[in-house]
Structure 1
Amino acid sequence: MTAALLFDMDGTLIDSEPIWHEQMRAFAREHRIEWTAEDAHWTTGRPMVEWADRMRERGVQMEPASIIEAIAGSVADLVREDVPWLPGSRALLARVAAAGIPAALITNASGANARAMLDVAPEGALRFAVSADDVERSKPDPEPYAQAIRRLGADASACIAFEDSGSGARAAVAAGARLWFLTTQLTESPVPAERTIGTLADITADELFAALA
């Protein structure tokens, strides 16, 4: 069976959730709407159109796509300027690239955010990204993972997916992948996970490659 690695982005490879939350708050202040810490927490792992719709309900006079473009663009620029790598993630990606193991990025963020991640990742680590711009249904629907597995030419049951959110975990499992869950956002996965780790620093590349084989 052909195996591959499937990486979520926010909360898995990089600690960008605080950047998203701050840019949402800045946007809300600019448009004079309420956007609380509870609202920010609610957005984690959700399709972007859901929080854009909530902002419109609060009074933002813009189309959802324009709201997303404004906030996601700011986040992408900030990530490129100073990558908030989570412990172990960049080093692991470098080993994946050196070993030539097929890997892809699967995210509910926009294409701009995905491209920013591909730009800063070690060369050859991530072959492509599947973002919200590439699918009709984002996580928790399995479509993003199914598309990535198909494009990699891999067998779903031989793939390991790294996720930190409930919606992402559900999407990976529904697509048939093996789930390794990171507790950067939640204390445990809402669906059965093969392994649970704190960050990617908690595993070695050799350990991962052995599990993949």
Structure 2
Amino acid sequence: MTGALLFDMDGTLIDSEPMWHEEMRALARQHRIVWTAEDAHWTTGRPMAEWAARMRERGMALDGETIIATVAQAVAERVREDVPWLPGSLALLERVGADGIPAALVTNASRANARALLDSAPAGALRFAITRDDVQRDKPDPEPYATAMHRLGADASACIAFEDSGPGARSATAAGAQLWFLTTQLIESPVPAARTFGTLADVDHGELFAALG
């Protein structure tokens, strides 16, 4: 069987969730709608269309895609300026790239956000990204992970997916991948996980690569 590594982006590889929350609140202030810290936290891991719809319900006059594009572009620019790598993520990606292990990014974020990360990642570490622009149904649907595994030519049961959110964890397991959950956002996975870690710094590279076969 052919295995592969699949990485979520926000909260898994980089600490960009605070950026998303800040840019959402900045847009809300600009358009004079209520958007609290609790609203921002609710968006973590959810499809962008859901929080854009909630903003419109609060009275924002922009259409959903414009809301998403505005916030996503602002976050992408910030990431390009200074990538907020989470502990262990850069070292693991360097090892993945050096060893030629098949790996891809799987995110509910936009293609612009994924490109900002791909351009900063170690050479050869991430072969491509599956984003909201590449699928019809975002996480928690299995489509994003299933699409990535198909493109990599990998067997689902031999793949390991790193996730930190409920929707992401459900998407990965529904697609048949082995879930290694990171507690950067939640204290535990909402679905059974094969392994649980604080960050990627806690992952033993030897154990990980052995699990890939």
> Taking structure 2 as the reference length, what is the TM-score of the superposition?
0.99
Work out the CA distance in 1 between the residues paired with 2:132 and 2:117: 14
Work out the CA distance in 2 between the residues paired with 1:101 and 1:161: 14
Name 1:11's counterpart in structure 2.
11
Corresponding residue SS for 1:45: coil
Name 1:204's counterpart in structure 2.
204
Code of the residue aligned with 1:94 in structure 2: it is E
Superposed, which structure 2 residues align to 1:21-100 within 5 Å?
Answer: 21-100=21-100
Superposed, which structure 2 residues align to 1:138-149 within 5 Å?
Answer: 138-149=138-149
Corresponding residue SS for 2:117: helix
Work out the CA distance in 2 between the residues paired with 1:205 and 1:116: 25
Code of the residue aligned with 1:72 in structure 2: it is A
Work out the CA distance in 2 between the residues paired with 1:179 and 1:58: 36
Name 2:164's counterpart in structure 1.
164
Per the TM alignment, residue 63 of structure 1 is displaced from its structure 2 partner at its CA by 0.9
Corresponding residue SS for 2:196: strand
Corresponding residue SS for 2:68: helix
Corresponding residue SS for 1:145: helix
| Contiguous gaps of at least 5 residues in structure 2 | none
Work out the CA distance in 2 between the residues paired with 1:97 and 1:207: 17
- CA-to-aligned-CA distance 1:17-54 (integer Å, 9 cap, x gap): 00000001100010000100110010000000000011
Does residue 179 of the first structure (1) align with residue 179 of the second (2)? yes
Corresponding residue SS for 2:2: coil
Name 2:101's counterpart in structure 1.
101
Per the TM alignment, residue 203 of structure 1 is displaced from its structure 2 partner at its CA by 1.2
Work out the CA distance in 1 between the residues paired with 2:160 and 2:170: 14
Work out the CA distance in 2 between the residues paired with 1:71 and 1:207: 38
- CA-to-aligned-CA distance 1:53-106 (integer Å, 9 cap, x gap): 111111111110000000000000000100000000001000000000000000
| Contiguous gaps of at least 5 residues in structure 1 | none
Work out the CA distance in 1 between the residues paired with 2:111 and 2:176: 24
- CA-to-aligned-CA distance 1:96-144 (integer Å, 9 cap, x gap): 0000000000000011101111111111100000000100000000000
Work out the CA distance in 2 between the residues paired with 1:164 and 1:54: 23
Name 1:191's counterpart in structure 2.
191
Per the TM alignment, residue 206 of structure 1 is displaced from its structure 2 partner at its CA by 2.0
Work out the CA distance in 2 between the residues paired with 1:211 and 1:176: 15
Aligned residues: 213
Per the TM alignment, residue 210 of structure 1 is displaced from its structure 2 partner at its CA by 1.3
Per the TM alignment, residue 204 of structure 1 is displaced from its structure 2 partner at its CA by 2.6
Work out the CA distance in 2 between the residues paired with 1:207 and 1:179: 14
Work out the CA distance in 2 between the residues paired with 1:98 and 1:205: 13
> Taking structure 1 as the reference length, what is the TM-score of the superposition?
0.99
